[in-house]
């Protein structure tokens, strides 16, 4: 038994003696100690678990975290629960998802690099498979073993082959987009070599989508269907609601496109200031917080022509609509759970999977004029008029200026290891929470903590072996003591977190952050920041604090050794970068987005969508 579990049991035992504990918590402790008793037919039910992921949703987007975007349903979870302000993911989609579902570091679980960007010197190495490898156990697999129904809807991005899909990795029911992104309206994907998005439903590859398909709506409809189909059999459920929204392209039904007309014409600096003000009022950040500098390649909006500001502002209007539409469908799920009497017995965990997206993915996928991808984009993504934004065939992304707004008050964005790439908003609500409703917590939390936390909630624990194979150790810490109000952080002052992606490196310990990033976002050297005083990472203390720097670099070395980190060879790229003037980075990875071939499912595993 882990020390966290032991601590949690001691805490609950104390509460039991004081008569403060609920039957649900008793059941939880009971199962930790004596599973055979707590799983008996007359035992109180364990809570349902709903994990809601926003794809590229920023730290400062939800109303409860200072956004002007209207998110009443997500905010209601925040007001009934706790908001965590020091929660970390990884810098991009599949690495975060791999840790969420395995509890194991990316360099061990197969996502040492994103599949799309695996460098030549990483190919074929253990931990760099580009999909969630079979050496790890998955959260749904273990929860299913503990008596939970396991459902998934939305984006998977962790492998497409039959043995890698959600059904094969522990989900009893699923409706999944296997790709990292794509159209919200149909199966159009991004490149000439991989023109069609791949979907599965209950382990079968779909030949087409439902007639009234719109991603966010359909995912929600399907999940409600899964829940209803098995209601009343006494088992709790785990639902992984892995929304595609608000990832670009911003595809929206018409009535969701015009909810903020003209509101963003004032420009990104003003909106960032307004968000910071609200964040201070809400207590999300300290009163003396300074905004990160506007990134050097983002223009001062007041110097732009009004028409330019209006067009750029409209991109943000579309993004805000995406978030509000997501919130609406989250509201439909909440309402449904209330109607069927399950809301009170459901734990909700809500967060964005990485920093907001500042790279223009469309530019990346379309390539240069004359290429096959350019032709593909011209044919399939040709609805470029602002009035068509949101329609099938349109491609809108809001760019680095608005990504920095979404990540107020931090620097950088998705793909990079500044706080704007990896810090996100986290909401936890539900029956296991013993902290004041609507309160805030600044403990150091990490997405890999979900595995031990939710296993504990389900009354089970992480096994040493699975099917005779030894499992890699968990990197996360259970939130049990934090949720029970017995601790402020799952981590001690000595515990540290570390990241590596695309060759960029970072470590966080206590209030300190070590970072080494490639040009142009970094300077190629180790940089040191004190996040308690400087969450915007404005002042590099590496030269002023050599001892601290040395200690932090030693942590990095420890991390790299323990997890077999192999930095991608970027020699060609670095030579080029030094010859070119500083410019807006159009692709965080190296080598640039590789040409992915269309995945063709085995014929005997295809199906039409269920009604
Ligand atoms: Ca993402």
Q: What is the pLDDT of residues 290-326, one digit of tens each?
A: 999 999 899 999 999 999 999 999 999 999 999 999 9
SS3 assignment, position 551: helix
Residue 49 clears pLDDT 80, i.e. is over it: yes
- For 338-392, what is each residue's pLDDT tens digit? 999 999 999 999 999 999 999 988 888 888 888 899 999 999 999 989 999 999 9
Distance 268 CA to ligand 1 centre (A): 22
Distance 111 CA to ligand 1 centre (A): 14
Selected catalytic residue, list 90, 93, 251, 329: 93
Q: Which range is least confidently modeled, 6-20, 298-312, 469-483, 572-586?
A: 6-20
SS3 assignment, position 279: helix
Confidence label for 206 from pLDDT (cuts 50, 70 and 90): very high
Q: Which residue's structure tokens are 């209207």? A: 70
Distance 147 CA to ligand 1 centre (A): 30
Q: Which residue's structure tokens are 């903020």? A: 260
Distance 354 CA to ligand 1 centre (A): 5
- Distance set, CA 398 to CA 58, 247, 316 (Å): 13, 10, 6
SS3 assignment, position 51: strand
Closest C-alpha among 282, 529, 536, 250 to residue 394: 250
Distance 406 CA to ligand 1 centre (A): 13
CA atoms within 13 A on the CB side of 11: 18
Closest C-alpha among 17, 20, 19, 40 to residue 30: 40
Distance 307 CA to ligand 1 centre (A): 30
- Distance set, CA 33 to CA 13, 26, 36, 458, 550 (Å): 12, 11, 9, 12, 43
Give me the count of residues in the chain. Answer: 611
DSSP 445: E
Selected catalytic residue, list 90, 107, 149, 157: 157
SS3 assignment, position 425: strand
Give me the pLDDT at residue 9, please.
Answer: 41
- Helix residue spans in 430-472 (DSSP H): 450-457
- For 97-127, what is each residue's pLDDT tens digit? 999 999 999 999 999 999 888 888 999 999 9
243 tagged catalytic:
no
- Helix residue spans in 19-124 (DSSP H): 23-33, 35-38, 72-80, 93-102, 106-109
Query: pTM value?
Result: 0.91
93 tagged catalytic:
yes
Before 437, cis peptide (omega within 30)? no
Output the six-digit token pair for 411.
């620097």
Before 520, cis peptide (omega within 30)? yes
> Quick one: which H or E segment has residue 403?
helix 399-406
Alpha-carbon span 184 to 381, nearest angstrom: 13
């Amino acid at each position: 038994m882990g020390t966290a579990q032991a601590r949690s049991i001691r805490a609950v035992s104390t509460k039991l003696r004081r008569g403060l504990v609920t039957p649900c918590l008793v059941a939880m402790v009971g199962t930790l100690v004596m599973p055979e008793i707590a799983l008996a037919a007359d035992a109180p039910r364990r809570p349902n678990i709903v994990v809601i992921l926003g794809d590229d949703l920023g730290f400062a987007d939800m109303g409860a975290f200072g956004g002007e975007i209207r998110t009443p349903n997500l905010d209601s979870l925040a007001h009934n629960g706790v908001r965590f302000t020091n929660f970390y993911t990884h810098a991009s989609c599949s690495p975060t998802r791999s840790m969420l579902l395995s509890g194991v570091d990316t360099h061990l679980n197969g996502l040492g690099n994103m599949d799309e960007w695996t460098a030549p010197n990483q190919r074929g190495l253990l931990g760099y498979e580009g999909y969630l490898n079979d050496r790890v156990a998955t959260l749904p697999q273990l929860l299913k073993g503990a008596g939970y129904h396991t459902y998934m809807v939305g984006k998977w991005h962790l492998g497409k082959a039959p043995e890698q899909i959600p059904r094969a990795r522990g989900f009893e029911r699923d409706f999944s987009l296997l790709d990292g992104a794509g159209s919200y309206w149909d199966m159009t994907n991004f490149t000439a070599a991989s023109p069609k998005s791949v979907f599965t439903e209950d382990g079968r590859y779909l030949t087409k989508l439902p007639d009234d398909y719109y991603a966010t709506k359909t995912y929600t409809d399907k999940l409600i269907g899964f829940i209803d189909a098995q209601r009343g059999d006494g088992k709790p459920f785990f639902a992984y609601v892995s929304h595609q929204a608000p990832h670009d392209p911003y595809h929206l039904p018409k009535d969701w496109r015009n909810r903020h007309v003209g509101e963003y014409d004032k420009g990104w600096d003003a909106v960032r200031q307004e968000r910071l003000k609200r964040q201070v009022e809400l207590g999300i950040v300290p009163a003396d917080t300074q905004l990160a500098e506007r990134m050097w390649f983002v223009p001062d909006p007041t110097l732009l022509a009004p028409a330019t500001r209006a067009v750029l502002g409209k991109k943000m209007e579309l993004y805000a609509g995406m978030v509000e539409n997501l919130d609406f469908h989250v509201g439909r799920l909440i309402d449904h759970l209330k109607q069927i009497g399950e809301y009170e017995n459901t734990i909700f965990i809500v967060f964005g999977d990485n920093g907001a997206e500042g790279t223009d993915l469309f530019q990346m996928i379309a390539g240069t004029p004359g290429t096959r991808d350019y032709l593909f984009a011209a044919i399939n993504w040709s609805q470029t008029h602002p009035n068509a934004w949101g329609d099938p065939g349109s491609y809108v992304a809001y760019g680095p200026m608005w990504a920095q707004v979404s990540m107020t008050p931090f620097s950088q964005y998705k793909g990079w290891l500044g706080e704007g790439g990896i810090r996100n908003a986290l909401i936890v609500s539900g029956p296991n929470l013993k902290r004041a409703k609507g309160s805030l917590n600044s403990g150091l939390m990490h997405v890999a903590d979900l595995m031990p936390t939710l296993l504990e909630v389900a009354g089970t624990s992480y096994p040493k072996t699975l099917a005779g194979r030894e499992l890699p150790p968990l990197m996360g810490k259970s939130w049990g003591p934090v949720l029970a109000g017995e601790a402020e952080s799952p981590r001690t002052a000595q515990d540290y977190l570390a990241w590596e992606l695309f060759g960029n490196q970072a470590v966080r310990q206590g209030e300190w952050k070590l970072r080494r990033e490639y040009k142009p976002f970094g300077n190629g050297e180790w940089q040191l920041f004190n996040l308690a005083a400087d969450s915007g990472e404005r002042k590099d203390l590496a030269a002023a604090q050599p001892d601290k720097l040395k200690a932090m670099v030693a942590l990095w070395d420890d991390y790299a050794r323990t997890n077999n980190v192999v930095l991608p060879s970027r020699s060609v790229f670095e030579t080029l970068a030094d010859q070119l003037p500083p410019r807006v980075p159009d692709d965080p990875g190296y080598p640039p987005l590789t040409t992915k071939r269309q995945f063709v499912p085995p014929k005997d595993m295809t199906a039409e969508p269920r009604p």
